[in-house]
């Protein structure tokens, strides 16, 4: 996938996009760890190459898009489809987006979001969504600048680990 960027995105280098392939699993994990380190969550990463290969390429539960500048992968986005009952159609959920520190401030993040928006439109999706840590002011300001609305009236809930197992087995998470 190597689209032309829209005319109002100016980059300091040649930028293209490509979908990840199975042999990119080590690179995907490297990007995940760099993102987790930035978010101060590196100890939480339990993903392995085997898990990523199984879920991304055998099960096709998510997709990865790389931003490539002058032949080097400098950003990645991991996303999957979700569904809006109100819209009656699928949407794109962006789980992770990360640009290497040396390549920030050059429009790569915006170009990646534009490419994901293009892909969403091409697939007929009704929306694009993602979450952002509440302390990440630079990202929040950037998302607002491109017209994204925060969903401050919604709270995200998560079940993981033993609580997820317990609820599935007994119907009681306490």
Residue positions annotated with a catalytic role: 143
| Rg of the chain taking only CA atoms, in angstroms | 17
Q: What are phi and psi of 63, to 5 degrees?
A: -125, 160
Neighbour-count burial of 66, counting CB atoms closer than 10 A to its CB (0-12 exposed, 13-18 middle, 19+ buried): buried
For the beta sheet containing 15-19, the strands, ordered from the edge strand earlier in sequence to the opposite edge, are 15-19, 63-69, 72-84, 89-99, 128-130
* Core vs surface per residue 124-139: b (16+ CB within 10 A) or e: ebeebebeeeeeeeee
Q: Which of 115, 103, 95 is nearest to 16 (CA)?
A: 115
The residues pairing with 82 across neighbouring beta strands, listed in sequence order, are 91
């Amino acid at each position: 996938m190597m689209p032309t960027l829209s005319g109002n995105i100016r980059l300091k280098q040649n930028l293209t996009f490509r979908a990840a392939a199975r042999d990119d699993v080590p690179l995907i994990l490297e990007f995940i760890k760099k993102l987790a380190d930035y978010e101060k969550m590196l100890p939480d990463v339990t993903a392995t190459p085997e898990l990523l290969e199984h879920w991304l390429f055998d099960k096709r539960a998510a997709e990865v898009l790389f931003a490539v500048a002058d032949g080097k992968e400098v950003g990645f986005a991991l996303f999957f489809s979700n569904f809006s009952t109100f819209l009656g159609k699928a949407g794109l959920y962006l789980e992770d987006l990360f640009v290497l520190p040396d390549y920030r401030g050059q429009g790569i993040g915006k170009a990646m979001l534009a490419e994901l928006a293009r892909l969403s439109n091409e697939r007929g999706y009704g929306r694009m969504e993602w979450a952002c840590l509440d302390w990440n002011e630079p990202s929040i300001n950037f998302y607002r600048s491109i017209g994204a609305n925060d969903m401050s009236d919604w709270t995200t809930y998560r079940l993981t680990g033993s609580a997820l197992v317990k609820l599935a087995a007994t119907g009681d998470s306490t």
